[in-house]
Structure 1
Amino acid sequence: MPLAAASADTGDTAWLLAATALVLLMTPGLALFYGGMVRTKSVLNMLMMSFVSIALVTVVWLAAGYSLTFGEDAAGGLIGGLEHAGMSGLGPDSVQGTVPTLLFATFQLTFAIITAALVSGAVADRAKFGAWLVFVPVWALLVYVPVAHWVWGPGGWILEKLGALDFAGGLPVEIVSGASGLALCLILGPRMGFKKDAMRPHNLPMVMLGAGLLWFGWFGFNAGSALGANGLAAAAFLNTLAAGCTGLLGWLFVEQKRDGHPTTLGAASGAVAGLVAITPSCGSVSLLGALVVGLAAGVVCSYAVSWKFKLNYDDSLDVVGVHLVGGVIGTLLIGVFAVESMTGGAEGLLYGGGLGQLGKQLLAVLVVGVYAFAVTYGIGRLIDATMGFRASEEQEQTGLDLTVHAETAYDHGVLGHGAPVSSSVVSPAQKVTPQA
């Protein structure tokens, strides 16, 4: 009697459909979060860098990204094959585990999208929009896709050979985006007025709204990575909530002690730092571990965001200080707090596992961080040498919204940055020519 064809579980499918929508919502949430943090003259440009990443990464992922990430390993754990290029062979009846393969591919696509969008925060206010359109698809194929294969793909060397753990993306999302952002901000150099002008967020309610949408979407990001409606998803969901809360409280504690004022920007940043750190570890640690992971990230990242002033790299919106540092914390602490009841085997240092798992986590962090930085630096340098990556001085001074997109975010124009501009300036009748 022939074996019955594999079929999808309706409960798991329903949950993953919802989780996919939640993760996709994170990129518009990130756009608001970043948009509120920049000055009025570049808020639309910031929003556009996130939204255009959705379109660019989707095309690349469907053409080759999914196959290279989740196709059968083709190079000793380094990259997948092209058997599913153009989503070839993946019909509605194809199943990955207990969910349709097309849904699994779409869920993974949303991770690739937000990783690219995260990088934009490091070069806010000064990157050419045209250069960003070239950078994103090349970067997605050469940086994100290989690392995602190492961590999650069949035969990936970090997953199957090294044995490092990463449940939902500390390595391919957080550390990759942070290391890539560092490379780009070194190439572009600091913004005009860096360390001289205040460059305060122009709209803190927008920042808080964006952070809230990110937190909401993060439940799909982490709990969805269980790929099923099950107990592991529930544990990852609760760990995500807990770490976001202790991250927020940790950051506010530092602000109060150091500055005398707990701020709304600190609350938003602390929650995000805790969520970043729990991303790789939400499926490996207990609730107690999640609370400690979030707290550690909130405290450490609140100090890390000031490193740019001492080391003179202009990470505009703290991609390095929050995502790279938070991702490193969360990935390493798996080696300390991992429990067998969550991992099914591996244990951290505090639970009798010794230093072995911590060593594996450290090696994975170092290799991924160095690879993402080096390849991104090469891509960025090539683009800079051929078409230029940084906007002109005039564009940066006037603001990218008006000079690139021929729009302003507010009717009263660009407040406090260059000459005031009335809304009529951006009328088509005025013949403003955008430049990318």
Structure 2
Amino acid sequence: MTPQGLPDDRRAAGPLAGLKVLELGQLIAGPFAGKTLGDFGADVIKIEPPASGQQPGGDPLRQWRMLHEGTSVWWQVQSRNKRSVVLDLRTPEGREAVRTLIDDADVLIENFKPGTLEKWGLGPDELLRTNPGLVMLRISGYGQDGPYRDLPGFAVVAEAMGGLRHLMGEPGRVPVRAGVSLGDTLAALHGVIGVLLALQARSQSVSPEAPRGRGQVVDVALYEAVFNCMESLLPEYSAFGAVREPAGSALPGIAPSNAYRCADGQVVIGGNGDSIYKRLMSAIGRDDLGQDPALASNAGRAAQVDRIDAAITAWTVARNVDDVVSTLQAVSVPVGRIYTVRDIAADPHFQARGMIQRIVTATGLALDVPGVVPRLSETPGGLFRPAPALGEHTQEVLGRK
């Protein structure tokens, strides 16, 4: 993708072409939702604050992590397919300009602290009165109501409250975190699901009184998005009083599924299917374990997981990663290297699937960025527009009004 983006007809073919999205959020959760909609053809207009005092202006993500010529390379991913408009929402003039843009918008995305939009006169009561078809995606730490509503919430707290952080790491050690903000991304994806559901509901509510259909508010809490992915955590506690504890690289109650040391690194092996387990044991020369009736089902294997893991480790530590992977792949046992980004960038499967795309930024930097997920066979998404400079489209957007 060049700084000029791809031809307009590619964008027009996207499944969300014609959808006008106004993004008021900053940093990760709200903007990731906007990026996802933009990847599939929506016209995403990002509202950014102007410079003020020592503050450079714009979404703070512009200055996060590694910069090239003053701008984060992360920005090139998070804000692709968007237009940037500078408005100061703290001023009456800025709020009035936003209201004008909202009047014919399909979707509004915001991830401010609850009550902020209401303070500015931009709450759902006001906006849905002037634009009854508007879908408002509101992402916050704890949701728009409840006793914790007004507390500040970041992904790090949401991951802890949602139950994820307690399970991460080794037993008896301080819980660790993933090196990315999972809580934000999970909330963003739940938000996109909510937006698409609300748009579907809107299309089904078209009437003479509501020619565009009825909009609604999509309320996503970061901790709830994390909690929604916690599988059997709550029902096991409810039924048995079981409090799941961290288990390092293993998956408790499912065996064998773990990370294993090799002579020159580590691999992950998922041998927990009944027939897969037998093939795995045969491949490592332990048919005695593979044919043991007590280990024929997952329940039996889970009860003797230490014994099984010890047998697998005894085999893997004597071999290098390539040998382990090739041997197990040959007998259809799920196995994989533990990739660094260097491995990802060099992997032919990522390339073949279009998961690594080369762009050229406005400053001339050739940059590899993640491709579009999910893949649609007939109306695929794409990288239509490079991430904008601050306020690049202010006149273009506001000049139409």
The TM-score, its normalising length taken from structure 2, stands at 0.23
- Which is greater in Rg? 2
| Bigger helix fraction | 1
| Bigger strand fraction | 2
